[in-house]
Homo-oligomer: A and B are copies of this chain.
Amino acid sequence: MFLEDCWYVGAWSHEVKNEKIVGVKILNQPVALYRLADGTLRAIADRCPHRFAPLSMGCVEGQSIRCMYHGLKFDSQGNCQEIPGGGPLHAIKPARVYPVTEQDGWIWVWMGLPELADKALVPSAFGLDNPAFYMRSAQLDYAANYMLINDNLCDLSHVDFVHAKTLGWATGGGWSTTNPDISKIDRGIRIQRWFVSQPTSPTNPTPVDTWNAYDFLAPGVFVMESKSYKQGTAAACDFKEPTGEPQTYRVEQQAVTPISENETRYFYATGFDSRMPEKLLEGIFKIVMDAFAEDKTIIEAQQKIIESTPDDMDRSFIPHDRALTRFRRMMEHLKSKQQRYSSDDS
Which A residues fall within an 8 A CB radius of B?
25, 28-30, 46-47, 49-54, 57, 67-72, 80, 83-87, 91-93, 151, 155, 157-158, 160-162, 176-177, 179, 260, 297-298, 301-302, 305-306, 308-309, 311-312, 314-320, 342, 344, 346
Contacts and interface: CB of A to CB of B under 8 A. Distances in A.
A157 B305 contact: no
Contact of A301 (B57, B317, B318, B342): B57
Contacts of A67: 161
Quickly give the copy total for this chain. 3
Given A28-B308, A52-B306, A305-B52, A70 B316 contact: no
Residue from A30, A57, A305 having most chain B Cβ neighbours under 10 A: A305
A344 B260 CA distance: 28
Given A28-B308, A311-B344, A320-B84, A302 B177 contact: no
A71 B161 CA distance: 6
A51 B315 contact: yes
B301 A158 contact: no
Contact of A320 (B70, B158, B305, B309): B70
Given A85-B319, A91-B317, A318-B87, A71 B311 contact: no
B298 A57 contact: yes
B68 A162 contact: yes
Contact of A315 (B29, B52, B161): B52
Given A69-B162, A70-B155, A157-B71, A346 B311 contact: yes
A158 B235 CA distance: 72
A116 B306 CA distance: 27
Contacts of A29: 308-309
Q: Which 10 A-B pairs have the closest CB atoms?
A: A84-B176, A92-B316, A87-B319, A311-B344, A68-B161, A85-B320, A47-B305, A49-B316, A71-B161, A87-B318
A70 B308 contact: no
A70 B315 contact: no
Contact of A308 (B260, B305, B306): B260
24 contacts: A29-B309, A50-B318, A51-B315, A52-B302, A52-B306, A53-B305, A57-B298, A67-B161, A69-B158, A69-B161, A69-B162, A70-B320, A71-B176, A83-B319, A84-B160, A84-B161, A85-B157, A85-B319, A85-B320, A91-B316, A91-B317, A260-B308, A311-B342, A311-B346
